[in-house]
Structures are given as structure tokens and as C-alpha cells.
Amino acid sequence: MIKAVRGTRDLLPPDTALWNLVEQAAHEVFRLYNFREIRTPIFEQTQLFARSVGEETDIVSKEMFTWEDGGRAASEKAQSLTLRPEATAGIVRAYIEHDLNRSGLLQRLYMIGPMFRRERPQKGRYRQFFQIDAEVIGPPTAGSESPSVDAELLEMLAHYLERIGITGWTLELNSVGCANDRPKYNEALRAALAKDLDKMCEDCRRRAVTNPLRVLDCKVPEDQPIIEKLPRMLDYLDESCRQHFQAVQELLTAVGVPYVINARLVRGLDYYTRTAFEFTHGALGAQNAILGGGRYDGLSESLGGPKAPGIGFAIGEDRLVLALSRTAEALSKPPDAYLAPLGTGTNREAAKLARELRRQGVVVELGDESFRLKKSLETASKIGARYAVIVGENEVKADTFALKNLATGEQVAVPRAELAHGIRR
Ligand code: HAM
């Protein structure tokens, strides 16, 4: 038997109702903040992720699904392509490519779709997973650097989680500084690491030289006591980053969104500047981050675009659904009516009637004339239909159908024109 590939999974009904619920709520809540949907391709040039997410990150160095695409004709050149491991890089690429900066306005964009990372699969961690991603990006003159954008985005997340009924989350907040203060911090990190580096893992030893901030992201248990004692970015922020972070916090307090400062929070991607955050949830076990995000004020420029600071987040939809306490069964809606054709030639009449009823908004499942009445009624009960409509030869002739309430067993004759009304009542 051929099975789904390790780390991928099928989402089956009734669970898909939960996925639709969280996606629908995202469309509705994000709309209240004037976000609009964007859809970018599932694969991009490998370069895009290497340059944005960063060569030294786990995502780029170990987890990407990358292949050499040969090109089909001599005129097409071979290129390295990658299944997107995240959404931000593609959205910023599209922002630059379509010159969205030109409007001079903030772009509030969101996207829902699958991402791909070759991680070790476990509960809440998959190789194909879904993100609900949102970004606010624009020229500085549009206010893209304002701390109020950060706070509004975080408030929108709190609103969204409340709307879908997720409680018990923690917003962990940090500032990872900017191009101005990062070199000083990197220096401090290298100095602090110098004496312990030989005790650390190979990745840390390499990263201490190439990109010391990544050392803070190391998951090797033996390295943690050393990492715990390293200097904190928050103590190295320059005056403007410090004030920015302060303003974000004041706004969050003003709108009543609770948060905790986590000075050790570094995200697994290199493009972040200033505000970085995660929402964690106790019900999720080891993979407890429901979502993460932050500012990326230099990303557009590093990809050859205009100065277009931005901030965004991605919700791990798989984890969000795991954290929902609602059960899929409670959401699944059975059909209103099961149409039971009875006798040779009645399939045609039943199909016509089903078409009429559906146009009046009735949810109909259509049976088959080869079924005996008993089997039709059993099927109607099994699928949870409220009514069975019997479409036999006599009914067709009289244009009046037997409508059976499956809960009470009561059966009445209803003229065709009143059937939809009778069912919906
Ligand atoms: P990220 O932290 O890498 O950030 O991913 C965001 C969320 O995606 C995580 O918090 C988690 O819920 C979910 N996630 C990540 N990997 C997996 C996996 N293997 N299986 C299931 N869920 C997973 C980003 O991707 C950034 N692009 C977020 C962002 C947008 N920053 C700015 N704008």
C-alpha cells in the first residue's frame, strides 16, 4: 500500500470543519483591520530563502525541500528551486516585484497555505504544515516603522484568538535590536562565548563566528546552561530601539493585551529587527508556539527592494486546531434532507427535485432508486438527515411528496411548492 509521506497528513472530515472555522474567522477578523489576501507560489528560487531567512538558520541549512530544476528546453536555464518553508520571503518578493511601494501606503496582506520543512515529525510538527500569515509593510512615510503598527498587529492576534475561543495563551515579547546596535551585541556575545565555546555543539561553534545571535536559538540541552548566562540583547538596544520597544509595551497595556518579556526569545529566522514575539499555549506540549513573528525593517532592501520596513506573524494552523477545545463533531452539519427515489425511473424525478430544493438553500443528499425503502430510511438516519423525502411513482404523479421526520417518525404529504419551506421549518 502507498501511504502518505512521513511528516505529511490527510485532513479528513469532520476535522476539516475546524480548519474551515479558523480560516473563516481569519478572513473575517483580518478584514476588520483592513487586511487583504495575497497568494504567492508554493515554490520559489532557493536564493530567496537563503538571503531572507538566512543561511545559518536551521530552516535553510537543514530543512528545505530543494531541487535542481533542469528546465525543459534549451532556452530555460537550470535553477535551484525550493518549496516555501515560510511565507514572508515570498510576500516581500512579490511586494518588490509588483512595486507595491509605489502607492506610498501601508500594505496589509495575509495569506493562508501550506509550508514545507524537513523537520523531525512529532505532535504539532509536520513536514507539510499550514500557516495563516499576515504582514504589514510599506515605506517609512506611510508609518511602517511606528510602534503602533506592532501593537495593532498583536492586538489583532489577541482578538482573533478570542474570536475562535482559544484562551490560556501567553504573548512572549522581546526586542532583537537593529542594524545599529546588533554589531555591539554580537561582539559582546562573541566575547562571552570565547571561554566556553569548546564545550558547545558544532553548530554553536560555527555560529559564534558567522552569526552569534543564532547561538541563542540552539536546542542542544547541554549547551543551555552556557546560553542562559549570555548577555541579553535588551541591554544593548540603542536609544531609538529602546524607545520603540517601550512604546509597543505602553500601547499593549493601553489596549489591555497582556504580555511577558522573554529576553531569550530569538526567532528561528534571521530577518528580524526590533520587536519579536511568540504566542505560546500550555495545551500543546513540546511544540508550544502557536504563532510567531516580528519586525523585519531591512528585509526588502536586503532583497534588492526599496526601504520598506514591515512586521508580520505566522500562525501554525495545525497547532491552532490542536489547541481548540471544540470538537469537530459539534461543528459538522448534517444534511437537511435525504431524497429517497423509490421504483425504477424515479432517479430522474429525484434529481430534478434535489436541484430545486438546493436552489432554495436546502442541503440535500440524493439516494438511489435501486435501494429499497428500508435501506433508504436507514441511510437517511445514519447520515443524520432531519427528513427523508420519498420520491415514488405516486408522489411524482400527484406532485406531492411524503416528508418523513426522522426524529419523530411522523410523515406528512407536502406539495412540491411547499417542500423547501416544510424542510427548513
Ligand atoms: P516561524 O516561527 O518559523 O515563523 O513559524 C510560525 C509558526 O508556524 C510557528 O509558531 C508554528 O506554530 C508553525 N510551525 C512552524 N514549523 C512548523 C512545523 N514543522 N509543523 C507545524 N507547525 C509549524 C515564520 O514562519 C515567520 N515567517 C513568521 C513571520 C511572518 N514573521 C514575520 N512575518
- Residue 286's pLDDT is 82
Instruction: Take atom 21 of ligand 1 and give the residue whose Cα is closest.
Output: 125
Cβ 133 under 6 angstroms from ligand 1: yes
- Residue 156's pLDDT is 98
What percent of the chain shows pLDDT beyond 70?
100
Name the residue of 270, 291, 322 whose CB sits within 8 Å of the most ligand 1 atoms, as the mutation to test its pocket: 291
- Residue 75's pLDDT is 83
267 C-alpha to center of ligand 1: Å?
A: 9
Pairwise CA distance, residues 274 & 295, whole Å: 6
386 DSSP assignment = S
Lowest mean pLDDT of 4-8, 84-88, 162-166, 279-283, name the range.
Answer: 279-283
- Residue 283's pLDDT is 81
Q: What is the DSSP string of 242-292?
A: HHHHHHHHHHHHHHT---EE-TT---SSTT-EEEEEEEEEGGGTTS-EEEE
Lowest mean pLDDT of 1-10, 50-59, 109-118, 319-328, name the range.
Answer: 319-328
- Residue 282's pLDDT is 86
- Residue 327's pLDDT is 78
- Residue 73's pLDDT is 83
Cβ 119 under 6 angstroms from ligand 1: yes
Q: Say yes or no to pLDDT of 412 above 80.
A: yes
Burial 298-309 (b: 16+ CB within 10 A, else e): bbbeebebeebb
Looking at the chain, the number of H-run helices and the number of E-run strands are 16, 16
Residue found by looking up cell 524537513 in the block? 118
Q: Which atom of ligand 1 is nearest to the CA of 312?
A: 33
Q: Which atom of ligand 1 is nearest to the CA of 53?
A: 27
Pairwise CA distance, residues 375 & 353, whole Å: 20
62 C-alpha to center of ligand 1: Å?
A: 16
Task: Assign 217 a pLDDT band (cuts: 50, 70, 90).
Answer: confident
Cβ 309 under 6 angstroms from ligand 1: no
Q: Say yes or no to pLDDT of 165 above 80.
A: yes
Q: Which atom of ligand 1 is nearest to the CA of 268?
A: 3
Cβ 203 under 6 angstroms from ligand 1: no
- The residues, ordered by sequence, that sit 6+ positions from 97 with a Cβ below 8 Å of its Cβ are none
Pairwise CA distance, residues 84 & 79, whole Å: 15
Q: Say yes or no to pLDDT of 42 above 80.
A: yes
Task: Assign 274 a pLDDT band (cuts: 50, 70, 90).
Answer: very high
Cβ 159 under 6 angstroms from ligand 1: no
87 C-alpha to center of ligand 1: Å?
A: 9
Contact yes or no for 274/180 (Cβ under 8 A): no
Give the tens place of pLDDT for each residue, 65-122. Answer: 999 998 888 888 899 999 999 999 999 999 999 999 999 999 999 999 999 999 999 9
Whole-number mean pLDDT of the chain? 95
155 C-alpha to center of ligand 1: Å?
A: 19
What end-to-end distance do the CA atoms of the chain give, in Å? Answer: 47
Predicted TM-score (pTM) of the model is: 0.94
Q: Say yes or no to pLDDT of 375 above 90.
A: yes
The phi, psi pair for 44, rounded to 5°, reads: -140, 175
Task: Assign 223 a pLDDT band (cuts: 50, 70, 90).
Answer: very high
Q: Which atom of ligand 1 is nearest to the CA of 267?
A: 2
Task: Assign 259 a pLDDT band (cuts: 50, 70, 90).
Answer: very high
What value does the mean pLDDT take over residues 309-338? Answer: 91
What value does the mean pLDDT take over residues 252-275? Answer: 96
What value does the mean pLDDT take over residues 187-210? Answer: 92
What value does the mean pLDDT take over residues 149-162? Answer: 98
Instruction: Take atom 20 of ligand 1 and give the residue whose Cα is closest.
Output: 125
Instruction: Take atom 16 of ligand 1 and give the residue whose Cα is closest.
Output: 125
What value does the mean pLDDT take over residues 257-277? Answer: 96
